[in-house]
Chain A
């Protein structure tokens, strides 16, 4: 992160309940990170980051929109190129997720 502003890679979502769950380790943009059991991939990422991906047309960051499987804005790529609809996929230990966020 280095010299960029403090706000880079801050969490978008805030946990306000259900914090007492088992931790689930995963990799986020090549760095180790921790989610909680029962998190969606979207929650796992956005409690660490402010984006899920970049839009293919505007190249601007996106962070999901409807959270109920309709808008298709929350597709996330894994390190191996697989695509997941992050609001409808639960986090699993060892997942390797990428967001296109500045490192």
Chain B
């Protein structure tokens, strides 16, 4: 029953990519699955190397059953997909992907007729003075160290920022026997109360979140809401590394000694591939970012290109599984393969029903919109090239830059190796503050190939072959 024109490629083997692959296979289609990691699972259900010994319960806690189900689904697909791990898609256009194989440092092209992009997300970062010191990591990074390597980022750790991950990482670190010196949440307790009605639509998920907070408090961990990170301090003798966090409760500054910091403000979507593919973007207020447009089934403005999971708006792992399956059904349906319309409708219902909870999360852990106003001129915004908030403000003021790509051209912000993944959100906030424009009016950094650094001779080689 395989339609001859179907040559689908899935980018990403997290919850969305795996369910998309499973769905295509169930309809007799053999997809290519390209993933940057060595093993499938994505970030949330990231799997340690094969010979590691901890149980799924230890690694994934309350999510162990979901993680195990997803992993075993992916393992069962191995004979039915063309799985390409350790592979970075660094360019995408006109039916061809450029793919770098990490271990061999070789690049190749992979043709596609249909594409499901499930590129996932990374931490949303708002810099704080001292954030480039060794020992400061994203919350996601702190979690990867523990889950993927059996290591903690320090022995006395401050976790700060906001979002569900803040409490989850604090819980996981404390459970692993690490001292959590403080949890500093920029959200106010009043925000969390106001969010309760929306969050009660998913009582089980809400219950887990409340459990982590209650457990942390019962263990004597200092949990402060309404806390604004002021700076991370480092030692000046010996190794330069973290030794304290200073935070403000609005009136008074407090110093917490520590040897590591994990921080982040929820997540941001990895949208570069959708951008290179020409997908239309729109401002998404709830996500406070420009995102590739997708309709309820995952179709984009570009025929044959589908989006699923957190890469097109942060909705979480459960939604990613449903969206991956839904996008695969849309792909099949668009190319004449008969699909179960009832199942497709059910998936869309599930995704819709998640919205009140998702909006509740945004109320409970709101983006700190006053961040830019508190960012000192000396703050390093771009950690790749050491560009400060003051330089960005001066560029807006003196050169009249009022749009992100203009700011990038003049200051190089977003032009470093991370391509704006770490600094882009912050730079836009600074630009909006400096120009007095609303945040949705300062534009977005355009994606550029290679979307992550590749050896220069390989890029030249690939361009010569075109």
Chain A interface residues (CB < 8 Å from chain B)? 4-10, 12-21, 37-40, 43, 46-47, 50-51, 55, 57-58, 60-73, 75, 85, 87-90, 101
Which residues of chain A come closer than 8 Å to B384, judged between CB atoms?
57, 72-73
The residue from B36, B137, B151, B241 contacting A88, defined by CB atoms under 8 A apart: B36
| Residues of B102-152 whose CB lies within 8 A of A | 102, 122-123, 132, 134-138, 140-142, 144-146, 148-152
Complex contact B418–A71 (CB within 8 A): yes
A16/B123 contact (C-beta < 8 A), A62-B132, A89-B102 known: no
Complex contact A6–B132 (CB within 8 A): no
Chain B interface residues (CB < 8 Å from chain A)? 36, 38, 43, 48-49, 51-54, 58, 88, 102, 122-123, 132, 134-138, 140-142, 144-146, 148-155, 176-178, 235, 237-241, 260, 270, 380, 383-386, 416-418, 421-422, 452-453
Complex contact A8–B43 (CB within 8 A): no
Complex contact A66–B238 (CB within 8 A): no
A66–chain B nearest beta-carbon distance, Å: 5
Which residues of chain B come closer than 8 Å to A72, judged between CB atoms?
384, 416-418, 452-453
Q: In the bound complex, what is the Cα–Cα distance between A101 and B239 (angstroms)?
A: 9
Complex contact B421–A70 (CB within 8 A): yes
The residue from B49, B134, B453 contacting A50, defined by CB atoms under 8 A apart: B134
Which residues of chain B come closer than 8 Å to A75, judged between CB atoms?
417
Complex contact B53–A8 (CB within 8 A): no
Which residues of chain B come closer than 8 Å to A40, judged between CB atoms?
148-149
Complex contact B49–A67 (CB within 8 A): no
A-B contact count (CB 8 A): 160
Instruction: Beyond A12-B241, A75-B417, list 13 extra A-B contacts (CB 8 Å).
Output: A7-B241, A12-B154, A16-B152, A18-B48, A18-B54, A50-B134, A50-B135, A50-B239, A51-B240, A62-B134, A67-B137, A69-B36, A70-B270
Complex contact A38–B134 (CB within 8 A): no
**Across the two chains, which residue of chain A brings its CB closest to B260?**
A12
Which residues of chain B come closer than 8 Å to A70, judged between CB atoms?
122, 270, 418, 421-422, 452
Complex contact A16–B178 (CB within 8 A): yes
Q: In the bound complex, what is the Cα–Cα distance between A55 and B178 (angstroms)?
A: 29
Which residues of chain A come closer than 8 Å to B132, judged between CB atoms?
55, 58, 60, 62
**Across the two chains, which residue of chain A brings its CB closest to B144?**
A67
Which residues of chain A come closer than 8 Å to B140, judged between CB atoms?
66-68
A64/B152 contact (C-beta < 8 A), A7-B235, A16-B178 known: no
Q: Which of B49, B88, B146 has the most CB of A within 10 A?
A: B49
Q: In the bound complex, what is the Cα–Cα distance between A4 and B238 (angstroms)?
A: 7
A89–chain B nearest beta-carbon distance, Å: 7
**Across the two chains, which residue of chain A brings its CB closest to B51?**
A38
Q: In the bound complex, what is the Cα–Cα distance between A82 and B442 (angstroms)?
A: 39
Q: In the bound complex, what is the Cα–Cα distance between A85 and B38 (angstroms)?
A: 14
Complex contact B153–A68 (CB within 8 A): no
Complex contact B241–A68 (CB within 8 A): no
A/B interface sample: 28 pairs, CB < 8 A: A9-B239, A12-B134, A12-B260, A14-B155, A14-B178, A15-B151, A16-B178, A17-B54, A17-B150, A18-B52, A18-B53, A19-B150, A38-B51, A43-B151, A46-B151, A55-B386, A58-B380, A66-B421, A66-B422, A67-B141, A67-B144, A71-B422, A72-B384, A72-B452, A72-B453, A73-B422, A85-B102, A89-B102
